[in-house]
């Protein structure tokens, strides 16, 4: 494994020093990597009016959002809280896409009042939206394209049986509802899933929208969602975004010609932008022999990084403290009272109690899916930017855990 893929430092700053200063467990993000990812996507779609709407849910720290704004992207939000975070980060409402799934109408109303674009994901919602706003508030429709794609079934969301979007088979009913209530549809959206390797899937999704678009005369944008796969280990294939860029851009240009107007193309990447920027640094609390396996128990677990437990996701782990040590096979496990295996049967440089281990690809769906399970505290977050280390979220303290509890007299 190369040093580059298992770095001991970020922008020249040793991870060990960062861990000593802020303690473990600790989320560390490489800001340059985030900026580079945004740039590479912009380059892959060069020549067409591209708008990147970063999927906030992947990593929603406000300082990260500010950095993403500076890099030239907008945001996709899936809750009113994410809309608010985006606005706190300085995004104007016009830079925010709100893609809720089955929320109550109060939340839709709140988002409309804030002035963000609403992505309508059911026919009843189109009706309710139309009844309330008629053609006064432009909106987008989320289409379910009936495409099965994604790293695993839990993150495949564009297939026939998925709860997301409105089935493309229901296009006549969509059109009836839009017409009946005179709703002004300015965007069409698909998001097929996460960890999608094949460029063809993105083209397929786009084509479903291009076909449907002829029924919507007021379109301003086509939103092809997110889902680009990143590498989780050395040699792991990742989506060839240049190929996606070429294929989708070319089809998009043809589509715009036939539509008769230049539209914007929107994308909503989450993982692609932040996954590789993130490192979760943990400390080995115990090295423990069992008959068939040697466990390394660390000061973290599914409460801080849920992906291995939830999706059997693979995250590379390396020993920061003893990189030259003799390789042994270990299972790295968390301190939660569940079988929270972070990495099973992995070859790691000899681990001793107190060693710092680094868990890679922790930028996307790491902190944002963290919890207080086992009444554990969530870690701090640190951003390395222009060679400087910034604390962007304090480590939780016990008071955070109990601050909303109302302790009654008994």
Annotated binding site for substrate: 307, 311, 338, 365
Tokens of 185: 């549809």
Sign for the pseudo-dihedral over CA of 208, 214, 217, 220: positive
Residue 30 contacts ligand LLP per CB under 6 A: no
Minimum CB–partner distance for residue 275 and ligand LLP (Å):
8
Long-range contacts of 375-378, Cβ-Cβ distance < 8 Å, separation of 24 or more: 375/401, 376/301, 376/303, 376/304, 376/335, 376/336, 377/401, 378/303, 378/304
Q: Which residues pair with 327 in a beta bridge?
A: 349
Query: Per-residue string for binding with ligand LLP, 187-206, x by CB under 6 A?
Result: ----x--x------------
Residue from 270, 308, 334, 363 that binds ligand LLP (CB under 6 A)? 270
Minimum CB–partner distance for residue 218 and ligand LLP (Å):
22
Does 256 qualify as catalytic in the annotation?
no
Residue 121 contacts ligand LLP per CB under 6 A: no
Q: Residue 224 belongs to what H/E stretch?
A: none
* DSSP calls for 249-282: HHHHHHHHHHHTS--EEEE--SHHHHGGGEEEEE
Binding site feature residues for pyridoxal 5'-phosphate: 227, 365
Report the C-alpha gap between 277 and 183 in whole angstroms: 41
Query: Looking at beta carbons only, is 129 or 228 nearer to ligand LLP?
Result: 228
CB neighbour burial string for 11-43, b if at least 16 within 10 angstroms, e if fewer? eebebeebbeebebbbbbbbbbbbbebbeebee
Tokens of 230: 């990143």
Minimum CB–partner distance for residue 226 and ligand LLP (Å):
3
Minimum CB–partner distance for residue 289 and ligand LLP (Å):
32
Query: Looking at beta carbons only, is 300 or 321 nearer to ligand LLP?
Result: 300
Q: Contact, 187 vs 140, CB < 8 A?
A: yes
Cis peptide bond prior to 25, omega within 30° of 0 = yes
Q: Which residues pair with 141 in a beta bridge?
A: 120, 188
Quick one: which segment of 133-141, 166-174, 265-273, 396-404 binds ligand LLP (CB under 6 A)? Answer: 265-273
Quick one: which segment of 19-27, 250-258, 266-274, 282-290 binds ligand LLP (CB under 6 A)? Answer: 266-274
Which residue's Cβ has the minimum distance to ligand LLP?
270
Nearest CA among 250, 273, 258 for reference residue 219:
258
Surface-to-core class of residue 110, CB atoms within 10 Å of its CB (0-12 exposed, 13-18 middle, 19+ buried): middle
Quick one: which segment of 132-140, 170-178, 219-227, 355-363 binds ligand LLP (CB under 6 A)? Answer: 219-227
Quick one: which segment of 67-75, 234-242, 262-270, 332-340 binds ligand LLP (CB under 6 A)? Answer: 262-270
Residue 76 contacts ligand LLP per CB under 6 A: yes
* Helix, strand or coil, per DSSP, at residue 368: helix
Query: Looking at beta carbons only, is 33 or 348 nearer to ligand LLP?
Result: 33
Report the C-alpha gap between 71 and 272 in whole angstroms: 14
Residue from 307, 315, 376, 378 that binds ligand LLP (CB under 6 A)? 307
Residues that bind ligand LLP (rule: CB under 6 A) add up to a total of 20
Query: Per-residue string for binding with ligand LLP, 221-240, x by CB under 6 A?
Result: ----xxxx------------
Cα 111 to the center of its chain, rounded Å: 21
Residue from 86, 130, 158, 269 that binds ligand LLP (CB under 6 A)? 269
Tokens of 35: 């900026």
Minimum CB–partner distance for residue 398 and ligand LLP (Å):
28
Residue 283 contacts ligand LLP per CB under 6 A: no
* DSSP calls for 149-191: -SSSGGGB-SSTT-SSSEEGGGHHHHHHHHHHHT--EEEEE--
Give me the catalytic one of 140, 224, 256, 337: 337
Overall size of the chain counted in residues: 410
Residue 98 contacts ligand LLP per CB under 6 A: no
Binders in 52-71 for ligand LLP, by CB under 6 A: 55, 58
Tokens of 11: 């922008």
Minimum CB–partner distance for residue 98 and ligand LLP (Å):
10
Residue 155 contacts ligand LLP per CB under 6 A: yes
Minimum CB–partner distance for residue 15 and ligand LLP (Å):
23
Q: Would you please indicate which residues are annotated as catalytic (active-site) residues?
A: 337
| Binding site residues, ligand LLP, CB under 6 A | 55, 58, 76, 99, 155, 191, 194, 225-228, 268-272, 307, 311, 364-365
């Amino acid at each position: 494994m190369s040093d580059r893929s298992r770095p001991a430092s970020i922008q020249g700053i040793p991870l060990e020093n960062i861990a000593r200063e802020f303690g473990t467990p600790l989320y560390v993000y490489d800001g340059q990597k985030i900026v580079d990812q945004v740039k590479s996507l912009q380059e892959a779609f060069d020549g067409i009016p591209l708008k990147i709407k970063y999927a906030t849910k992947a990593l929603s720290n406000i300082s990260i959002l500010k950095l993403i704004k500076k890099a030239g992207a907008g945001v996709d939000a899936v809750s009113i809280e994410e809309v608010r975070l985006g606005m706190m980060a300085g995004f104007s409402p016009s830079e925010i896409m709100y893609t809720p799934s089955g929320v109550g109408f109060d939340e839709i109303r709140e988002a409309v009042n804030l002035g963000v674009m609403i992505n309508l994901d059911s026919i009843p919602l189109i009706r309710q939206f139309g009844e309330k706003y008629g053609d006064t508030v432009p909106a987008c429709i989320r289409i379910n394209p009936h495409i099965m794609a994604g790293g695993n079934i839990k993150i495949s969301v564009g297939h026939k049986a998925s709860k997301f979007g409105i089935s493309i088979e229901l296009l006549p009913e969509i059109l009836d509802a839009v017409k009946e209530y005179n709703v002004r549809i300015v965007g069409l959206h698909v998001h097929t899933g996460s960890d999608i390797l094949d460029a063809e899937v993105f083209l397929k999704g786009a084509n479903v929208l291009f076909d449907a678009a002829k029924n919507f005369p007021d379109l301003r944008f086509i939103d092809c969602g997110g889902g680009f796969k990143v590498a989780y280990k050395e040699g792991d294939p990742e989506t060839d975004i240049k190929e996606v860029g070429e294929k989708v851009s070319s089809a998009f240009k043809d589509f715009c010609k036939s539509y008769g107007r230049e539209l914007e193309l929107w994308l909503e990447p989450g993982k692609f932008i932040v996954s590789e920027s993130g490192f979760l640094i943990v400390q080995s609390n115990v090295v423990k022999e069992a008959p068939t396996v040697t466990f390394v128990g660390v000061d973290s677990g599914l409460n801080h990084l849920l992906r291995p437990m939830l999706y059997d996701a693979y995250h590379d782990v390396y020993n920061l403290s003893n990189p030259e040590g003799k390789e042994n096979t270990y299972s790295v496990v968390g301190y939660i009272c569940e079988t929270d295996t972070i990495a099973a049967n992995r070859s790691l440089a000899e681990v001793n109690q107190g060693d710092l281990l680094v868990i890679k690809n922790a930028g996307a769906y790491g902190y944002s899916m963290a919890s207080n399970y086992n009444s554990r505290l969530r870690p701090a977050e640190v951003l390395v930017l222009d060679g400087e280390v910034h604390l962007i979220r304090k480590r939780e303290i016990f008071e955070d855990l109990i601050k909303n509890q109302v302790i009654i007299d008994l």
